[in-house]
Structure formats: C-alpha cells, structure tokens
Amino acid sequence: RSGLRTLVLSTDAAHSLADAYGATVGPEPTPIADRLWVQQVDAQLRFEQSWAAIQGYLMAVLDVAGVDPVAAEELTVIPGAEEVLALLELRLQARSGHYDVIVVDCAPTAETLRLLALPEALGWYMTRVFPVERRVVRALKPVLTRAAGVPMPEDTVFDAVERLHRELDEVRDLLVGEDSSVRLVLTPESVVLAEARRSYTTLSLFGYTVDGVVANRVFPRAEGDPWRDGWVAAQDAVLAQVDQSFAGLPVWRSDYQASEPVGVDALTQLAQDVYDHGDPLAVPAGPRPLRITRTDGGSLLRLSLPNVASPDVDLARNGDDLVLTVGAYRRLLTLPTGLSRHRIAGARVDQGELQVRFEERAP
C-alpha cells in the first residue's frame, strides 16, 4: 500500500499464507493485489534440486551396508533441512530485482534456529577439511573402493556440496546484511516468552539483527467480564516482562480480533492498528550484533548477547577461530586476518554484550 513491490514468502512446511490471504497461492510468486505477491515455497522441490547428488551417494553407501532403500532415503534427509534449503528460493527472488521488499515467514522451530548456523559451519568445513578430503579421495579412490567395498564420492558429489555451500553462504549474507532484520512474534504467555528470549539470544549469537517484537492476540480490556479480566491481568504481567526482556527494541501489540483477519483488506487494517500508521519497514536502529573496533594496541570485538550473563558463556580460542558456546548453541567465529595474529587479553559480558579484547603479540 506504500508503493513498494512486496513479496511475502513462506518457507514453513506447514504453509498458512493461502489461508491468511484467502487466495490460491502456489510454489511460484502469485499476484493477489497491486504490488503484492505471495509465494509458498515447494521445499521438497528445492531439497531435491540441492541435495539429490549428495543423497544419491549416501544412499549408495547405505545400500552396500544392507539398509532397506526406503529406510535409507529417510536416513539421508537432515531433519529440518527442507525448510533451510527453501531459503535458497529467497536468494533467487532477492537477486531477481523484481521486488523492493521480501517478507519471509519462517517455521517457528528451534531446529530452524540451529540450522541458520549451517552456512557458517559448512564454511569452516569447506575451507579447512574439504580440500584435503577431496585430494585424498582422488588419490586413493581405487584402493579405498576395493578395500572397503564402499563407493567413493564422485566429483559430482563434491561439486554439489561446493554449490550448496556457496548458495547457502549467499543466503546468510542476505540475512545478516544491513538491509535485513528479524522480527519476533509471540503471544503473551510465559512459556512463549521464554522461547522468544532464547531465540533472541541465539539469533544475536549468529549475527542476525532483531529489530522488534510483535505481541499478538492481546486481550482488549472489558468491564464486567471476570473471565476476560483474568486473562488481561495475566497478559499484562507477561507484557511487562516482554518490555524488560527486549529493552531497547520496539514492542508492537496486536489486539485479539473478534474474527480471523483473512484477506488483503483485513490484514491491511490489522497492520495499521499494530504499527499505528507508522512505517513497519523503518531501518532498524542501533548497532549491528557483531562489531570490531580498533583500540590502542589492539582491537575490541563486541557481540550482542541479550539475556545472557558471564557464567552462561564459554569462550575458547582454536587457531584462527573463536569458539563461542551459549547454552546448547555453539558458534565457530573465524577471526579476520588482522585479529588472528593477536592474542586474547580479556573477555567479559557487560549489559548483554560480549566484549573480547585482543592485543598484538609481542615480537
């Protein structure tokens, strides 16, 4: 409605955009209003395109091991990989130049959060292990095949891994770029808030900028209804915690509607109410999650880790990598060349920010 060519794209296997817009939506961008397109990505198709060569090799290995073909096909599918590989569609649409804004509706699962780290982890493997492994297989392939009786990967498999890494790396560059951000949506319930707080921390750990929070299905006040009064009081208590948990971020509220907002007009009215006729696409304020600044005699690395204290963080140095562990999540952060020659002089967590001091090594 503001004049921007907009694509709303769902990577969730349980698509709901067609229901929300009250329109027929397919695997390709479907125009449903002026300057508005909606797309429900065919995750299975993207999976087959990006994973077929790799899956074929893995199935051949399992076949030699005597695994049933149907079971082998299931075993060669990474849980949640379809949703992540569906993000490759985002790369294609962003590169097409057909749209000014792309809104991505992702699956609300912790598995998706973990797999958002896949491009970076795969990058570490590709630069350190993959070249050596490829050379070894080429040199010893005939011997290994005869000795082990297991088929060695062909160049097509290595090429598929390299292509997948390259494409996922481009997706990550898009998602952590200055023009991208994540908006969390929650309902005012204690369990949901706890999950949203963890998501906020994890997204920040991997360099994704969270630009705000939408509190959805907030009960409006009404006099003389004890049942609703109870819900309002319970939600008010959680909403106060939401403001504290996401201090510094805008928190928008969406009142529980009398009926489901279905269709473009209903969703437009909902958006106007939530954003109070403001700009929902305003550039996120504040610094990026990861920053490196020069200091006298060294550098300071700052990484936003909201809702985290020093005891929650484990920090280690492994060559050119900084190994960060927060709860169940670990990030291998490859240091820039300028920092890899420095030593860690100290680290602390200060008001939700990890600060690591680097000093130049003595000659």
User: pLDDT value at position 82?
Assistant: 64
pLDDT in the model for residue 320:
76
- Residue 144's pLDDT is what? 44
CA neighbours within 13 Å on the CB side: how many for 146? Answer: 3
Tally Cβ neighbours within 10 Å of residue 122. 18
Question: What long-range pairs does 245-249 form, CB within 8 A, spacing at least 24?
Answer: 245/193, 245/196, 245/197, 245/200, 245/306, 245/307, 246/184, 246/200, 246/210, 246/212, 246/213, 246/306, 248/286, 249/210, 249/211, 249/212, 249/213
Tokens at 184, concatenated: 């969390």
Nearest one of 16, 23, 51 to 37, comparing CA atoms: 23
CA distance 192 to 106: 16
Long-range Cβ contacts of 53-58 (<8 Å, 24+ apart): 53/156, 53/157, 53/159, 53/160, 54/157, 54/160, 54/161, 54/164, 56/157, 57/151, 57/153, 57/154, 57/157
Q: What is d(CA 250, CA 352) in angstroms, rounded to the nearest whole number?
A: 17
pLDDT given for residue 65 in this prediction: 52
Quote the pLDDT of residue 29. Answer: 93
> Under a CB-based contact definition with an 8 Å cutoff, are residues 206 and 212 in contact?
no
| pLDDT the model gives residue 103 | 93
Render each residue's pLDDT in the chain as its tens digit; 363 residues.
889 999 999 877 677 899 999 999 888 899 999 999 999 887 667 666 666 666 665 566 555 556 566 565 655 556 556 666 677 888 889 999 999 999 988 876 555 565 566 666 666 555 655 554 445 445 445 544 444 455 555 566 666 667 777 777 788 888 888 888 889 999 999 999 988 888 888 888 888 888 899 999 999 887 778 888 898 999 999 999 999 888 888 899 999 988 899 999 999 999 999 998 788 887 666 677 888 888 877 888 899 888 888 888 998 888 777 888 888 778 877 777 777 778 888 899 988 889 999 887 766
Q: Report the 3 state secondary structure along 118-180.
A: HHHHHHHHHHHCHHHHHHHHHHHHHHHHHHHCCCCCCHHHHHHHHHHHHHHHHHHHHHHCCCC
Confidence at residue 8, expressed as pLDDT on a 0 to 100 scale? 94
pTM for the model? 0.75
State residue 53's pLDDT score: 61
